[in-house]
Amino acid sequence: MKKLSYVIVLIIVLISSLISCSYSQTKSESVKEGLIYDSLNVINSTSKVFYALPSPEEVIDYVTNNQIRFSSKLLIGTKLEPSKDFKDNKTILLGLYFADMAYLSVYKRSDLMGSYFSKVDRLIKDIGLHPDISNDQYTKIMYSTSYPDSLYVISRELYDGVINYLQEFDEGRTLTLLSVGTIVESLYLSSYIQSDFEKQKESVNKIAEQQLIYKDVISLVNEYTNEPFFEQLYHNLKVVEQSFENLKVKNSKKEVEIDSDGKVVIKGKNDYDINEEDYFIFLDNIHDLRVFLLNSI
Count of Cβ atoms closer than 10 Å to residue 135 Cβ? 8
At 165, the amino acid letter reads Y
Q: Is the pLDDT of residue 262 over 90?
A: no
Q: Tell me whether residue 240 is exposed, middle or buried, using C-beta atoms within 10 angstroms of its C-beta: 0 to 12, 13 to 18, 19 or more.
A: buried
Q: Rounded mean pLDDT of the chain?
A: 77
Q: What is the pLDDT of residues 222-234, one digit of tens each?
A: 999 999 999 999 9
- Name which residue leads in pLDDT, 48 or 223: 223
Q: Is the pLDDT of residue 12 over 60?
A: no
Q: Tell me whether residue 284 is exposed, middle or buried, using C-beta atoms within 10 angstroms of its C-beta: 0 to 12, 13 to 18, 19 or more.
A: exposed
* CA–CA distance, 234 with 252 (Å, rounded to integer): 30
Question: What pLDDT, on the 0 to 100 scale, is given for residue 170?
Answer: 82
What band does 270 get if pLDDT is binned at 50, 70 and 90? confident
- Name which residue leads in pLDDT, 278 or 264: 278
Alpha-carbon distance values, 294 to 10, 80, 106, 185 (Å): 33, 9, 23, 10
What's the half-sphere exposure (Cβ side, CA atoms, 13 Å) at 222?
Answer: 9
Question: What pLDDT, on the 0 to 100 scale, is given for residue 168?
Answer: 83
Q: What is the pLDDT of residues 148-175, one digit of tens each?
A: 667 888 888 888 888 888 878 888 899 9
The SS3 call for residue 113 is helix
- Name which residue leads in pLDDT, 110 or 196: 110
* CA–CA distance, 214 with 226 (Å, rounded to integer): 21
Q: Is the pLDDT of residue 52 over 60?
A: no
Q: Is the pLDDT of residue 286 over 90?
A: yes
